[in-house]
Chains A and B, each alone.
Chain A
């Protein structure tokens, strides 16, 4: 494997990690606040559809992005209403959201665009184009660093950069702001937060809205950046890989980035590893596809470290009277 091949596989890793990272950080806010979210997949799918549909109709990627975020936040609020205000089962709420998104996106897509659930292919303005960072072309001549800057770091969609910027931002918000402290507290011991005179439900709603926002970015990435238009079941289980990554990263932002990069790398590598041999035995592609899930199961079982989630996760908060 030469340098160009390595750069191209790392380049693909960045592209494939982006939606994982956005969804993973999205889940991080919600789960750190004590709301389990297995509905990341559904919110992403809904956002992908909303973004694809609006971008197709208006021809503007930015309006599409806005619509994607709007749809995703609305879905998150529905889930939040069930899980926070009505004190319903958070897991079941997530299952319902996933199913609702899958059904509605296909149904509305078919009704509105008559292309078997797809949204029309987008024109050049309807989707985001890649951004060349300054001097990328000029610097590409420098050995090693030049190609890395020009090929690997430059030339991605804006959402890729947003995703990676969100990592330090999330870390800062979580560990260095009052909101972050309260957010973490509400996931560990909501009663303490309540006693301090802060509304548990309001904080959880804020967290859920941020989750919706980030899922919106992740979903839009599928339909109006990476792809050009929405396709049936476009997110293809990526929401669950993001959930796996979140657990794998033990609900922390920086490890979340590395885990998403790892899972993205596995995704990028499986195409190249097709037919690869280890000790003369052919490695099945499916084994690599299943690896993120297997790793998560192994980690959860405590065989490599231990993943313990926020203590109050999954329990709706009931104020004592």
Chain B
């Protein structure tokens, strides 16, 4: 078994994820078939629902924006060998920062509100991840468990804040006051007519910047190098003079800050107020996005677009085929996580073996290896 060669890079970054995605869609298709619907019609409905018109594309991009942020959050932590499962909570708490800043500055101009809110989102999201990071680094508590717990604590905290603190008089539901007109960030629809009436907004440019920034940070800075060394081998990192505990704390904080930007998109870009559960499990989608995208910003961009399309297409599904709705997308997403994240062993060995047969030089090597074995 140890004679298996690692896959060529293109197969590792493109073929394997695509195989896993196909398998996820195939299984979901079987589920659709099982309830007596045509899976091909469902796929077509998702595609047209996601890309059929400017309106649909606008929504797809809006969802993709969120998933870029949470996908990067998961990926950045993953490069350091950490699993940040708390994107939901970090984004949720970041909403608090965004709304507090936005309500304080709402009478100025959105050009002042937006940068301040962006910083607030990053700071609040980062702070909510800093604590688990600190506890892992200094007290040895496992960051996975702590971030799960912090998701629930965030939920309780936000319900309290929305019901008791932020709710203005005269509003019955648990939500904050609306941000005044002058403080609202414009949507892309006001510059580009096909995106009219869609929630896609300036945050998408922040998302693109974040992708580029993450790429530079991870592969072209000293910090990124230390991060990857720690992720590959924490002991080696220690010997190289890297302070693992400091790295863990910084990485988790940055990861939380990225997840927090979801709140910037949702609260300042779309809702203009803080509402209950605005994160809508974007943090968990980020896990699927990071896995699909192989923790690389380019892959994450594509995977975020894919999941944005699945979410938007899934929304439209219910109007095309009665009985099907976005829960199908949740199933696909779960299967993608299962196949790409936890069942990698399903395809990889077979793929490695077939690659060894097809490449002549490696085949010769394989033959040589087996000859040596028989000689012994």
Interface of A is mostly: helix
| Min distance, Cβ A52 to any Cβ of chain B, angstroms | 17
Contact of B141 among A103, A294, A300 (CB under 8 A): A300
Contacts of A78 in B (CB 8 A): 338
Taken together as a complex, chains A and B put the C-alpha atoms of A309 and B141 apart, in Å, by: 10
Residue of B nearest to A78 (CB): B338
Contacts of B334 in A (CB 8 A): 96-100, 102-103
**Given known A-B contacts A96-B337, A297-B149, A302-B140, A103 and B330 have beta carbons under 8 A apart:** yes
The 0/1 profile, CB within 8 Å of B marked 1, for residues 79-96 of chain A is 001110111111111011
Do A86 and B331 touch across chains, with their CB atoms under 8 A apart? Answer: no
Contact of B287 among A87, A95, A110, A321 (CB under 8 A): A95
The 0/1 profile, CB within 8 Å of A marked 1, for residues 183-210 of chain B is 0000000000000000000000000000
Contacts of A90 in B (CB 8 A): 342
Contacts of A104 in B (CB 8 A): 31, 331
Determine the interface band of chain A, counting residues with CB < 8 A from chain B. Answer: 35 or more
Do B145 and A82 touch across chains, with their CB atoms under 8 A apart? Answer: no
Contacts of B85 in A (CB 8 A): 38, 91, 95
Do B148 and A243 touch across chains, with their CB atoms under 8 A apart? Answer: yes
Contact residues, A282-321 vs B (CB, 8 A) = 284, 286-287, 289-290, 293-294, 296-297, 300-303, 309, 321
| Min distance, Cβ B283 to any Cβ of chain A, angstroms | 11
Taken together as a complex, chains A and B put the C-alpha atoms of A294 and B152 apart, in Å, by: 9
Contact of B35 among A82, A111, A243, A287 (CB under 8 A): A111
Do A88 and B135 touch across chains, with their CB atoms under 8 A apart? Answer: no
Interface of B is mostly: helix
Contacts of B169 in A (CB 8 A): none
Do B337 and A247 touch across chains, with their CB atoms under 8 A apart? Answer: no
Q: Does A220 contact B (CB under 8 A)?
A: no
Contacts of B335 in A (CB 8 A): 96, 100
Taken together as a complex, chains A and B put the C-alpha atoms of A93 and B142 apart, in Å, by: 17
Contact of B139 among A88, A240, A302 (CB under 8 A): A302
Taken together as a complex, chains A and B put the C-alpha atoms of A190 and B20 apart, in Å, by: 30
Contact of A38 among B148, B328, B331 (CB under 8 A): B148
Name the residue in B156, B334, B342, B345 with the highest tally of chain A Cβ atoms < 10 Å from its Cβ: B342
Q: Does B243 contact A (CB under 8 A)?
A: no
Taken together as a complex, chains A and B put the C-alpha atoms of A100 and B152 apart, in Å, by: 20
Contacts of B341 in A (CB 8 A): 88-89, 92-93, 95-96
The 0/1 profile, CB within 8 Å of B marked 1, for residues 113-155 of chain A is 0000000000000000000000000000000000000000000
Do B141 and A102 touch across chains, with their CB atoms under 8 A apart? Answer: no
Taken together as a complex, chains A and B put the C-alpha atoms of A287 and B160 apart, in Å, by: 8
Do B327 and A297 touch across chains, with their CB atoms under 8 A apart? Answer: no
Contact residues, B144-181 vs A (CB, 8 A) = 144-146, 148-150, 152-153, 156-157, 159-160, 164
Contact residues, B105-156 vs A (CB, 8 A) = 135, 139-142, 144-146, 148-150, 152-153, 156
| Min distance, Cβ B167 to any Cβ of chain A, angstroms | 13
Q: Does A106 contact B (CB under 8 A)?
A: yes
| Min distance, Cβ A249 to any Cβ of chain B, angstroms | 14
Taken together as a complex, chains A and B put the C-alpha atoms of A243 and B148 apart, in Å, by: 10
Residue of B nearest to A94 (CB): B342
Name 19 interchain pairs, CB-CB below 8 A, sorted by A. Answer: A82-B338, A88-B341, A88-B344, A91-B83, A95-B284, A95-B287, A96-B335, A96-B341, A97-B334, A99-B333, A100-B335, A103-B330, A107-B327, A110-B325, A240-B148, A243-B145, A287-B160, A300-B139, A301-B135
Task: Return the 9 tightest CB-CB contacts between A and B, nearest first.
Answer: A86-B345, A103-B330, A88-B342, A300-B141, A92-B341, A99-B334, A93-B342, A100-B334, A96-B338
Given contact pairs A321-B1, A321-B2, a sample of 13 additional A-B residue pairs in the complex whose CB atoms are under 8 Å apart? A86-B342, A88-B343, A88-B344, A89-B342, A92-B83, A96-B342, A99-B334, A102-B330, A108-B35, A293-B153, A294-B149, A302-B140, A302-B141
